[in-house]
Amino acid sequence: MKISMKKIIRAMYIIMVVIVYITTIILSGSIIDTDKIFSKNNIIVLFIFVLLAYIVSVIISNKIVSPLKRIEKGMRFISEGKLPDNLKIKDDKEFQEYKELMDAYSAMLKVIKKNTFDLNSQESKTEIILEHMADGVIAFSTSRQVVHMNKAAMRMLNITENEDTFEKLCQKLNITIDFDKIMYLPNYQSMEFKTQMGDLALSIVFAPFFSDELNPMGIIMIVRNITDSVKTDNVRKEFVANVSHELKTPLTSIRGYSETIMNGDLTYQEIVKFSKVITQEANRMSRMVSDLLQLSKIDYNKVNWNKSTLNTVDILKKVCEKVRYEAEQKSHKLELICAEKVPPIYADRDSIEQIVINILTNSIKYTPDGGLIRVYAGPIDDRVYIKVVDNGIGIPQKDLGRIFERFYRVDKARSRKMGGTGLGLSIVKEMVDGNNGTININSKLNEGTEVTMTFPTKKE
């Protein structure tokens, strides 16, 4: 049987009353007369006393025990994960000791509430960070089941409902890795893999996670989309390979011709002819180097776009005059057709001139002799359009998408023969972007090419 404080208090009270009763009777002189002690009347009085004592003891025991009960109830609440309101203390009626106990209990409750709040807000902070991370995060339990997955992971890996285990996800990512090997990695180390899933290049990092007692609880997998950096890396590698190749070709011919000249036994005409080739190749190399320098300047944001309001028609006239000689060499007809009112453009003069020159020289180069090249200009919405149309060899549809890439040429041999570097349109694209412009190329093989650009008329 459990010992109850209430019962003890009640029993003690009743025993006390009985003792007091008996003592009173004894002291009142009926010590030896047992008949008197247990006479009917005295028994009734005793019974009434005991009853009264019981009632008083119930009241007192309740008074003593009920605050304890309330604390117990509060504790039970806390243990169930709920937080009770502060206990209400009736100051004037409670015992002082209980008031102190209640105060201590209220203070404890406050601390628990604060800690719980901190913990909850920490948890929700972690939750928010996880959900808004660009990287995918997936947690696996020791039984290899997915126990958490953020939105980025679901989106990036396009996860379906039944892809809920370590093995299934590794299979999806084309990774072969032993779960236990990661689980027991020494000293908080992690393992990284690079993989390809469709068009996505992914970096996957695995690391074990632990309980407070440092027992392994599972594995965290972090998925990062590295497609862009892989692409940039590839473009960089390709670029270096292209530059080396492009510079090696003219160097080889320069060396070949100069060695031939040095070996002697050549007629004067032959020497002049070979020297011309050497000069041509050297010029092409020098053009390429200056184009590369220009691109690298743009890449490193070292270009000062000196923007101002420019007279569109004046610029186009000036550029047409600059290339007219070259056009006439190939018997092209070059026309400038402007709308009645062409608004000024807000741009950097030097770069606009170079953009139009690069496009016009392409039209001149890639149009068979006697072609027609037209430059149009006019307003469109709140911008100005400049369009260069030729009736040249055109660009195949499949190449149109890559035409702005550095060193990309439809026909390398033809471009080289024309003295091209394959960088003209890349520079154009960068400069158009730098001037907040747009550029679009339409072309039909053997029919001609149409390059349309738009530029702002005022500061944007």
Ligand X SMILES: Nc1ncnc2c1ncn2[C@@H]1O[C@H](COP(=O)(O)OP(=O)(O)O)[C@@H](O)[C@H]1O
List the single partner that 411 binds among Mg ion, ligand X, none, CB under 5 to 8 Å by kind. Answer: ligand X
Residue 347's closest CA among 451, 436, 438, 440?
A: 436
Q: Choose the contact partner of 394 out of ligand X, Mg ion, none; CB within 5 to 8 A by kind.
A: ligand X
257 vs 361: CA distance, rounded Å: 29
**CA max distance for the chain:** 166
- Report the candidate in 206, 153, 136, 216 with the shortest Cα–Cα distance to residue 178: 206
Q: How far is the CB of 415 from ligand X (least distance, A)?
A: 3
393 binds, among Mg ion, ligand X, none (CB under 5 to 8 A by kind): ligand X
Give the whole-angstrom CA distance, residue 452 versus residue 389: 9
**Of the two residues 120 and 283, which places its CB atom closer to ligand X in the complex?**
283
CB of 391 to ligand X, least distance (A): 10
Q: Which of residues 253-272 bind ligand X (CB under 6 A)?
A: none
**Cα gap 141→442, rounded to integer Å:** 56
Determine the Cα–Cα distance for residues 262 and 275; give it in Å rounded to an integer.
Answer: 11
**Interaction residues for ligand X, span 158-197 (CB under 6 A):** none
Return all residues near 363 (Cβ < 8 A) that are at least 6 apart.
371, 373, 388, 390, 392, 449
Q: What is the Cβ-side half-sphere exposure of residue 135, based on CA atoms within 13 angstroms? A: 14
Least spacing, CB of residue 438 vs ligand X, in Å: 17
Lookup: tokens for 142: 């020791």
Residue 320 contact among Mg ion, ligand X, none, beta carbon within 5 to 8 Å by kind: none
Which of 390/430 has CB closer to ligand X? Answer: 390
Contact between 373 and 364 (Cβ < 8 Å): yes
Which one, 151 or 414, has the nearer CB to ligand X?
Answer: 414
Minimum CB–partner distance for residue 129 and ligand X (Å): 45
Q: CB of 330: closest distance to ligand X in angstroms?
A: 13
158: left (phi over 0), alpha (psi -120 to 50) or beta: left
Please state the closest distance from residue 287 (CB atom) to Mg ion, in A.
Answer: 10
Q: Is 371 in the site for ligand X (CB under 6 A)?
A: no
DSSP states of 206-254: EEEEE-TT--EEEEEEEEEE-HHHHHHHHHHHHHHHHHHHHHHHHHHHH
Contact between 449 and ligand X by CB under 6 A: the answer reads: yes
Least distance (Å) between residue 373 CB and ligand X: 9
- The residues of the shown chain that bind Mg ion, judged by CB under 5 A, are 362, 424
Tell me the Cα Rg of the chain: 47
Q: Which residues contact 444 (CB under 8 A, 6 or more apart)?
A: 394
- Minimum Å gap between C-beta 309 and ligand X is 28
In eight-state DSSP terms, residue 88 is P
Q: CB nearer to Mg ion: give 218 or 424.
A: 424
Q: For the CB of residue 442, give the shortest distance to ligand X in the complex, in Å.
A: 11
Residue closer to ligand X (CB basis): 170 or 393:
393
Residue number, 138 or 364, with CB nearest to ligand X: 364
Cβ proximity to Mg ion, 74 vs 424, nearer residue: 424
Binding mask 392-431 for ligand X (x = CB under 6 A): xxxx-------x-----xxx---x----xxxxxx------
Residue 384: left (phi > 0), alpha (psi -120 to 50), or beta? beta
Taking CB under 6 A as the rule, does residue 294 contact ligand X?
no
Paired with 27 in beta bridges are: none
Residues ≥6 apart with Cβ < 8 Å to 179: 140, 144, 166, 219
Q: Is 362 in the site for ligand X (CB under 6 A)?
A: yes
Nearer to Mg ion, 225 or 363 (CB): 363
Strands 191-197 and 200-210: antiparallel
Question: How many residues in the shown chain lie near ligand X by CB under 6 A?
Answer: 21
Strand order across the 372-380 sheet: 333-338, 372-380, 383-390, 448-456, 438-444
Q: Is 439 a residue that touches ligand X (CB under 6 A)?
A: no
Residue 371 binds which of ligand X, Mg ion, none (CB < 5-8 A, kind-dependent)? none
CB under 5 to 8 A by kind: which of ligand X, Mg ion, none does 403 bind? ligand X
**Burial label, 423 (beta-carbon count in 10 A; 0-12, 13-18, 19+):** buried
CB of 287 to ligand X, least distance (A): 9
Residues engaged in binding ligand X (CB under 6 A): 358, 362-363, 366, 390, 392-395, 403, 409-411, 415, 420-425, 449
